[in-house]
Structure 1
Amino acid sequence: MKKSLMISRLPGIIALRNLYLEYRKPTVNISVDGTNCDFIITNHQERKNILSMEEEKSVIKLFLNEIKNGDVFYDVGSNVGLYSCFACKKAQLEEIVAFEPQPEVNARLKENIEQNGCADKTKIIKGVLAAERGKQNLVVDESVPATGATTHSMSPDADGERIEVKAYTVDELITQNACSSPDVMKIDVEGAEYEVLQGMSQVLSKSPPRAIFVEIHDQVKHFGATPDEVKSLLREAG
């Protein structure tokens, strides 16, 4: 009987804890190879998601070894700003350009950038990078807490609410002098990575970034590409 009562009260306890976290907005500190960043959390799921990102420490360490003073870093699919914040704290960068289309996640990204003292050198773009400029549908899974989790996708086969977002190309942003050409890029866009690379063909042929870190997702097939095509495009760019 007591066990059943405890289970029945659990959702209410979680709701109260999340309300408390939203009010206090505590932070979690993550350290990678001597570089420390603080990330704001407002609910239990968000805390769990942020802490699970520690599993990426080996990749983040490799990434940080590529970051140098004076670099321009593009964080494509920035989420809550894990890579942007670490890049900012690691070196004196010329500019960080962080792309995050989901409104709630974009808001948390901005808070984390400010929390880590990186606002003066970070340009946050509420949109996506694609093969062509225009507008695209972003599918949002509202059943999952948005901040700090993979809750949205550009895949045409994804389920969830669809919202319209702006789409840019790297070539366009640079040609229009909206952003500087990147020295280092991180691309994590749930399958749309080939689209992002197609939209920077001029950059890849004339002045390719020194390093590009790409997470290739199985969903890439939903965008008419294969993992091998992504790798081939990168190899051709050197």
Structure 2
Amino acid sequence: MQDRFGRFWRVKKGLAAFYSFLLKYRLSSRLFTAFVIEPPKIKEVDFGGFSIRAHIPGVYMNGWLINGPSKNNEMPTVRFLAKDLRDGDVFYEVGAAWGMYALICNKMARLKQCVAFEPQSLNFAETVRNVYLNNFQNTIVLPLAVGDESKFDDFYVQAFQTGYGGGAMADYDRSMFSESSEAMEALRRGEGMANKDPSSLSPDDDLPAFEWRERVLVMPLDRIISEAKLEWPTHMVIDIDGGEVLCLKGMEKTLANPALRALSIEVDEQTRGEVEKILFAAGFSIEIEKTQSRGNVVYTRARQGT
């Protein structure tokens, strides 16, 4: 028994020494980290005929990418953008999660610029990683929430898991989140954090209303464009779970700019009336109707001569 323990200890010391040796040199350290400590988790994913490379951080994203792209709520918007985007256009994704639209729109046309907005820390990093994996040098990722005023505010996260998009600012419409006000108050008191292991979630699991919050910077889009010296967008996708009205109120100049031809906005019946009041007044009309109770509606500006 003692001899067996001695052999085990010598093997352990030998492996530790080998590991330390590998980490001394840049190339061996990178190879060991890439293939042993953090093996590659990259998938080639097809969206409506456009192939992108995406990092797979966990169970949720893997399930969504395998089962979701061909039959989910996003495909009408994907097909519209594939038809309407042209070389030289500028695309904005507000509420990027892991950057899906920023990635595929870069495959649809040679965009002059692409901007993705994602305030949640895990998803911001994931969007940057995916932009890097696809080598989109024209794409800017900003860790900002888009609203109607500049401030710091709390962002509430449904599942603290990379790639999961459910979250809301404190002043968003929260009708889509069950018991959201109570959950927010519990988080403010430091109670009720993670009551479920996010790494075990699948896309069909029931989620708590909110399990985490972060303090993020909120800015109106018009101010962001001016201060960051961005190009005016020609197309936008807005998916911010109840914040769409506040987003539109902070982008009056953007809506008035004739460069903007189309927006896809995820709406429900609680926010749709105010969304369309703003858009119709700015000269937009419905191009594609949503297919779910909360889903994407595509709005386009009337073309000259029509």
Q: Which TM bucket (shorter chain)?
A: 0.7 to 0.9
Match of 1:3 in 2: none
What does 1:60-71 correspond to in 2, within 5 Å?
A: 60-71=78-89
Which one is further off, 145-154 or 35-44? 145-154
Match of 1:27 in 2: 42
Offset of residue 57 of structure 1? 2.6
* TM-score, scaled to structure 1: 0.80
Rounded to whole Å, the distance in 1 between the matches of 2:155 and 2:282 is: 29
- 1:215 and 1:104, CA in 2 relative to 1: closer, same or farther beyond 3 A? same
Question: Does the residue aligned with 1:45 lie in a helix, a strand or coil?
Answer: helix
Question: CA contact under 8 A between 1:21 and 1:42: conserved in structure 2?
Answer: no
Offset of residue 212 of structure 1? 0.5
What does 1:156-167 correspond to in 2, within 5 Å?
A: 156=171, 157=181, 158=184, 159-167=210-218
Offset of residue 91 of structure 1? 1.0
1:98 corresponds to 2:113: no
Offset of residue 160 of structure 1? 3.2
Match of 2:92 in 1: 74
AA at the equivalent of 2:252? S
Q: Which structure has the larger Rg over C-alpha atoms?
A: 2
Rounded to whole Å, the distance in 1 between the matches of 2:99 and 2:228 is: 24
AA at the equivalent of 2:59? H
Match of 2:61 in 1: 46
Question: CA contact under 8 A between 1:21 and 1:43: conserved in structure 2?
Answer: no
Rounded to whole Å, the distance in 2 between the matches of 1:152 and 1:75 is: 16
| Residue among 246, 250, 258 paired with 1:195 | 246
1:235 corresponds to 2:253: no
Question: CA contact under 8 A between 1:29 and 1:38: conserved in structure 2?
Answer: yes
Match of 2:225 in 1: 174
Q: How many residues align?
A: 210
Offset of residue 22 of structure 1? 8.2
Offset of residue 31 of structure 1? 1.8
Question: Does the residue aligned with 1:176 lie in a helix, a strand or coil?
Answer: helix
Residue ranges of structure 1 left out of the alignment (5+ in a row)? 1-19
Greater share of residues in helix: 1
AA at the equivalent of 2:97? N
Residue ranges of structure 2 left out of the alignment (5+ in a row)? 1-34, 172-180, 185-209, 284-306
1:110 corresponds to 2:110: no
Question: CA contact under 8 A between 1:25 and 1:42: conserved in structure 2?
Answer: no
Rounded to whole Å, the distance in 2 between the matches of 1:89 and 1:165 is: 30
AA at the equivalent of 2:157? V
Rounded to whole Å, the distance in 1 between the matches of 2:242 and 2:87 is: 31
Question: Does the residue aligned with 2:38 lie in a helix, a strand or coil?
Answer: helix
1:186 corresponds to 2:237: yes
Question: Does the residue aligned with 1:215 lie in a helix, a strand or coil?
Answer: strand
Rounded to whole Å, the distance in 1 between the matches of 2:51 and 2:227 is: 35
- 1:155 and 1:190, CA in 2 relative to 1: closer, same or farther beyond 3 A? farther
Which one is further off, 49-58 or 161-170? 49-58
Offset of residue 208 of structure 1? 5.6
Identity of aligned residues (%): 25
Rounded to whole Å, the distance in 2 between the matches of 1:130 and 1:172 is: 10
What does 1:118-137 correspond to in 2, within 5 Å?
A: 118=136, 120-137=137-154
Match of 1:17 in 2: none
Offset of residue 170 of structure 1? 1.5
AA at the equivalent of 1:78? A
Offset of residue 196 of structure 1? 0.7
Q: Deviations over 1:166-205 (max 9, x none)?
A: 1111111233352111110000000100111100012222
Aligned-residue CA RMSD (Å): 2.2
After the TM superposition, list the runs of 4 or more consecutive aligned residues in structure 1 that deviate by more than 6 angstroms.
none
* TM-score, scaled to structure 2: 0.63
Question: Does the residue aligned with 1:167 lie in a helix, a strand or coil?
Answer: strand
Match of 1:205 in 2: 256
